[in-house]
Every structure is written in structure tokens, then in C-alpha cells.
Structure 1
Amino acid sequence: MDQTGRTAIVTGAGSGLGQVVARQLAARGAHVIAAVRNPARAAEFEAWPLDLLDLDSVRAFAARVHAEGREIDVLVNNAGIGNRPRELSPQGFESTFATNFLGHFALTGLLLDRMRTDGRARIVHVGSNLYRHMKKLDLDDLAAERGFSKGRAYIGSKLATLVFGLELDRRLQAAGRPIRSLVAHPGLADTPMNANLPSRAGRAFMALAQAAIGRPAERAAIPLLYAATDPGARAGVFLGPHLRRSDDTVYADPIVAPATDPALAERLWRVAQTATGVDMRLDLQLS
């Protein structure tokens, strides 16, 4: 849809899904700010440095938005990492959880007061259907000191993203804020994160999966773009593709436990606020 006059911030716009989303928004008239670790990789847009792993970088990015008086119509929380060994962020959190969830939680909270109030503003959180495979989210060990696996770290970060996206929309609506928070997923996308697996077995498995249900980034980005722009896009559901790779319809799938647990949402919110230092009180005008 026509995006003329709108401003969109897309994290991870230097490659993969983020780059496709940014290009499509720009092609339809939006002004895109590419939030990327290396601005040189997103030179076709207005590119600003952002390292979601480092909360100091997140604060610096948000401070620039405020200092320049930018108003935001669309925030696409797309950037993510996966299949990484256990490493810690500068603030001491496991890197996958810190990048995929905590960084986006902080960014969203720090930019809420720059979102337009015309009723069309959207925040899109990019999740994964793999969340269904995790029954419990350990919020007592954000440094993963008691045990770590690459797969569990990634799925946990995506479960947290989904829970946050749902809870944010609920709180925005309860506070009467004219902003919607939607969650979407690309299915199995052919992106650098999925292609650059370290093990031969992992690459072989991914090749088989891509042949069966994978789709190129240009098509995998459709649910994200739908969530970001279409007036009919619904909150409270998981927007994404069918497993049938030839079908580009965006489906609104019901979200299942544990992502629907209100107690988990409340606790995740408190833990994220403490970890990031961002007090996201939606009943007040944020500054």
C-alpha cells in the first residue's frame, strides 16, 4: 500500500528480511531509517548505527531520534541472531536473548513517544513458529550460566518476542494509546542467518528443509510487510505463511501456550524493565 509521507525504522535492514522490508517500504514512498550495526551495508537508505546487543547503543540511537525530532509511523523489530555460542552482552546478558529480545524491548520503549498518534502507527515484532517447542521460559538466568544450548537460546528469545508483542498491544489498548503492536513470522526464509550454519549436518538439514518448505526472502517478507502496512492486519494473532511454499497468503494463526500465559507476560515485562532500565509505563506520556 502507498506509504508516502510515512517514516519507518527497520532493524537489521542491511541484509535478509530486513533489507527486503526496507526496500519494499521505500519503493512505496516511505522514508526508511535503516537501524544496522554497519551503516555501510544499508547505504541505499538513511542508515544509522544500532547494535541491539549493547543497550548503550540502543539508548544512543533513541536519543538521536529524539534530538532530531523524528516522528515514526512504523517500527519493524526484525534484526536477530541465532546459532551462536554462549557469549555475553556488554551488560552481562546471553547474547541471543539480549539481541533478539532485550534490545528490541528497550528500543521500543524508548521510541514509543515518537510514534505518531494518527491511529495508523504500527510496531511489528518478528517471531518464529518454533516458539511452540518451548514450554517454559527461564527468566532467572539471563546470562545462561546454569545451562546453554544454541537452539534453546534462539527459541527462548523468539518466545519472549511473541509474549512481548502481545502484551504490548494489550497495554497500549488499555491505556488508550493509538498504536498497534503486531507479531508476524516469515516461515522458513532463505536468509544469511539460515544459510551460514557452522556444521555440515546443520547445512544439510537446512538444505532439505528449504527444498520442502523454504521460500526466498522476497516472499518470506510478505507477512512482515502486511503487518506493517495493511489496515486489516489484526493484533493478537500470529501473522505468517502456510507451510505450503507456493502459497503467499498471510494467515492469522491463533497463538498457543505458553505465549498466551498472562502471568508469564507480566513477569517478562518486569524482568525486561529491570534488565534494560527502560520503564515502559504506557499510562503516562513518555519522555
Structure 2
Amino acid sequence: MEGKVCLVTGATSGIGLETARALARQGATVVLSGRDPGRGEAALAEVRRTVPDAKLDLMLADLTSLGSVRKLAQGFQARYSRLDVLLNNAGLMLDRRKVTPDGFEATFATNHLAHFLLTHLLLDVLKASGPARVVNVASEGHRMGSLDFLDDLQAERGGYSGMRVYGNSKLANILFTRGLKRRLEGTKVTTNSLHPGVVRTGFGLNSEGITKHLVKLAAPFMLSAEGGARTSVFLASSPEVEGVSGRYFIKSKVARESKAAQSDEAAETLWRKSAELTGVGA
């Protein structure tokens, strides 16, 4: 990865931090993105503790805000002329429905819309840097997702279920990968999605109800963050997946998505609606 530039969202803790560490260890310049300055600086120090010669940068962004996502893309392109790997890693799960400053349901906005927009804004620099890769961290939780979310993107109907909404957002990650793969044909940019495993990080602890307690109970049986980062690192750096695009991976192996995640029609419907919501061209 010497000479390559990687941007990792949600990189100040958990899987994102370990992904950044591993890519830095391979010699890449790694731009860590997170929303908290203190945690960001602590993450840089933590990576440098184990990789003293790491080439790192920190760029702050709040992915609940599309304006902040746009500033991240603009700031990145002002500093860097190339992007070899965009790793869309940041994720959120809530017990209660919350709305972003843009008026979107927060889980869907953070897990899907922010990365949809960021990828769109950085697509030209990715293409110019080819061969380049877009890696989307999804989840086996996508199997809980339902195509009904295409008609209720903001989770406004019925009772709010954090797990269901999270599953919908992860289904969106895979359908986004599917739609992006089609649009990248003929370029030197590939895109793949993955399930990191059930990982012991701070994820889910920002919930206020039963989810937080379930996460704590299950923690001893979960993967470490380092273990959870392995498939992300594999898809970002391994020559084994050079040219492979539009696939879903578990434990660094191609896996079969749910039937809902294999729908080209759903991928196109999601793309059109996401483009409309984020104000970009379809």
C-alpha cells in the first residue's frame, strides 16, 4: 500500500481504528475521519503508538449532516490529488427515532445517505487514481431488512424498531454497492461490501434501551475490533480481489446476500431516491 491514499470513515474507534492501523502498517497514507476532535487526536496517537512511522491525517466530519459530508469531500480534495481506497465504515444504531438537521431518520442518514453522497463527491478522484476501491461495511443484519423501506425511508410508519431500521440501512449498503458497481463498469474502480462479524466495540452502546444491555451481555462472545477489521483490510488491499466488484464478503470470502439484496430493481429505486434526497445526479 506504499504510495496509496485511503480514507476511512468512523475511524476514531472500533473497526475503523483497527482498519486504519492495519492499512498504515502496510505503508498507506491513511486519512481518519470522525466527528470528535478529542477522539480523533487520541486515535492518531494510538495508531502511532504501534506504527511509529505511520502516515496519518485527521479530517473531522459529522455524518448526520450532509453539509458536513460535503465539507469533508471538499477538504479531502483540497489536500490530496488521489484516493486509492474509500472505506465507508461509520455506522449507527439507535433505539429511538431521531432526526438529523437535514430532516432524515438518523440511522438511515448516517449509515447510507452520508456514504452515498461522500462516494459520489469523491468519484472523480477515485476514477483518476484507478485502480481504486470503494469498500462498504454492511452487515448480516441486512437479512432483517425489508424492501418496504423503499417506500418508508424515514421509518415514520408504525412503531420504531432500532434493529429493523439498522437492518434496512445495511440492506441499503449492499444495494448501493450493487448500483455503484453497474455505474463503475468500464472504469478502474471496484466496489464491494462486507460483514465484519459480530464485533466487540462501542457500537450499540449509544442506544438507550435494551440494545445497549444486550450488547454488554454478548460482548465476551464477540470478535475483537482487530478481528472485525480483517475483511475490510482484505478488500482494501489484497491483490486477490483486484478487479472483483459488486460482491459481498464474510471472513474475506465471497458470500451470498439475502434475496432482497440481490434485486437490481431495488438497487436502482434506492439509487434514484438517494440521489433525490442528497441532491446529486442519478
Q: TM-score, normalised by structure 2?
A: 0.88
Alignment-derived partner of residue 89 in structure 1: 100
Alignment pair present for 1:227 and 2:235:
yes
Distance, in Å, in 1 between the alignment partners of 2:152 and 2:66 is 18
The gaps in structure 2 that reach 5 residues or longer are 45-55
Alignment-derived partner of residue 39 in structure 1: 37
1:167 shift after superposition: 1.7
Distance, in Å, in 2 between the alignment partners of 1:171 and 1:38 is 33
Match of 1:65 among 48, 64, 76: 76
Equivalent residue runs for 1:113-152 within 5 Å? 113-117=124-128, 119-147=130-158, 148-152=160-164
SS in 1 for 2:262: coil
Distance, in Å, in 2 between the alignment partners of 1:136 and 1:255 is 14
Q: What root-mean-square deviation, in Å, do the aligned CA atoms of Structure 1 and Structure 2 show?
A: 1.9
Alignment-derived partner of residue 215 in structure 2: 206
Identity in percent = 38
Equivalent residue runs for 1:114-193 within 5 Å? 114-117=125-128, 119-147=130-158, 148-173=160-185, 176-193=186-203
Q: Residues 152-190 of structure 1, C-alpha deviation per residue, up to 9 Å, x if partnerless?
A: 1111111001110122112211xx111000101211001
SS in 1 for 2:135: strand
SS in 2 for 1:218: helix
Alignment-derived partner of residue 256 in structure 1: 258
1:183 and 1:235 in contact (8 A); partners too: no
1:39 shift after superposition: 3.1
The gaps in structure 1 that reach 5 residues or longer are 242-249, 281-287
Q: Residues 112-142 of structure 1, C-alpha deviation per residue, up to 9 Å, x if partnerless?
A: 0111545431100000011112232422333
Alignment-derived partner of residue 268 in structure 2: 266
The one-letter code sitting in structure 2 at the alignment partner of 1:134 is G
1:70 shift after superposition: 2.9
Distance, in Å, in 1 between the alignment partners of 2:197 and 2:23 is 20
2:127 and 2:187 in contact (8 A); partners too: no
Q: Residues 228-252 of structure 1, C-alpha deviation per residue, up to 9 Å, x if partnerless?
A: 11121243332123xxxxxxxx221
